[in-house]
Amino acid sequence: MSLKTNIVKINFGIVCVFPDIIDALKFGIIGKAIDNKHININTYDIKSFTSSRKDRIDDKPYGGGPGMIIRYEPLRDAILAAKEKLGNDSLVIYLSPQGRLFEQTMVNKLSSNYTNIILICGRYEGIDARIIENFVDIELSIGNYVLSGGEFAALVIIDSVSRQLDGVLGNKASAISDSLYDKLLEYPQYTRPAIIDNHKVPSTLLSGDHKSIDKWRTQKSLEITKDKRPELLQKNNLDT
Ligand code: ADE
């Protein structure tokens, strides 16, 4: 009997101040992906890379100004520890509101091209800029708003990228429909009962005629995209 071996497809190293936040990934589909070794997650707490417990990880910015900056040394040492585990050629991403906007095309790119990804999560007013110059391959933002720290952005990136890996979603079609999300939005879905509060499931979906169902769904996808995200149709040269 041959045993199916599960291989880790992506190793994530998270360099951050609050590693407990990353524990939120243990639930649901991503929790299962960890258990089944599709992904592997190691956290590196910047606080444990100071030379003494009194030593702070943050300091005042040169030139003055509000807030504190994460110091170069403990952050560098945390990144080097992550690189030692994941490899020197790991992709290093810094999460910040100044980064390139993280969208589905980037999700697809990360999930199909990288095996070792290090995510650096900032806090306070930011990190010493020399870390970006010396270690960071790409700076990403998950949206045009400011979070209190990069840990929540790391959760978003790990969740969306892991869903794309073979075997993580029970149904391969679900991963494919995620990957097309920036082209056409999903058609509406219904489940039992067929009538509730005077609202009926569209009759085509009850017909059993799969050709008509496919046609209906394509038409609805186009209509919904035109209504909610018309710029996607323009971007992808589609029409209703
Ligand atoms: N850290 C703070 N705000 C952020 C954002 N919008 N995206 C990624 N990391 C962040």
**What is the tens place of the pLDDT at every residue in 28-62?**
999 999 999 999 999 999 999 998 767 899 999 99
Q: Which two tokens stand for residue 106?
A: 């980037």
pLDDT value for 177: 81
Residue in the structure block whose two tokens are 């806090």? 123
Token readout for 56 is 């702070």
Q: How confident is the model at residue 161 (pLDDT cuts 50, 70, 90)?
A: very high
Q: Is 156 in the pocket of ligand 1 (CB under 6 A)?
A: no
State the DSSP string of 182-232: TTSPPPP---S-SEETTEEPPHHHHS--HHHHHHHHHHHHHHHHHHH-HHH
pLDDT of residue 159: 98
Report pLDDT for 146.
95
Q: Tokens 């991963």 appear where?
A: 175
Ligand 1 and 143: CB distance under 6 A = yes
Residue 2 has pLDDT above 50, yes or no: no
Is 123 or 240 the better-scoring residue by pLDDT?
123
DSSP H stretches of helix in 39-171: 72-86, 104-113, 129-135, 151-162
Please give the helix or strand (H or E) that residue 176 lies within, else none.
helix 172-179
Q: How many CA atoms lie within 13 A of 161 on its CB side?
A: 29
Q: How confident is the model at residue 240 (pLDDT cuts 50, 70, 90)?
A: low
User: Could you tell me the pTM of the whole model?
Assistant: 0.93
Residues with catalytic function: 97, 125, 163, 178
Query: Which atom of ligand 1 has the smallest separation from the CA of 145?
Result: 6
State how far the Cα of 218 lies from the Cα of 233, in Å rounded to an integer: 13
- Domains annotated for the chain, with CATH where assigned, are 10-162 (3.40.1280.10), 182-235 (1.10.1270.20)
- Pocket of ligand 1 contains residue 147 by CB under 6 Å: yes
Name the residue with tokens 């599709």. Answer: 38
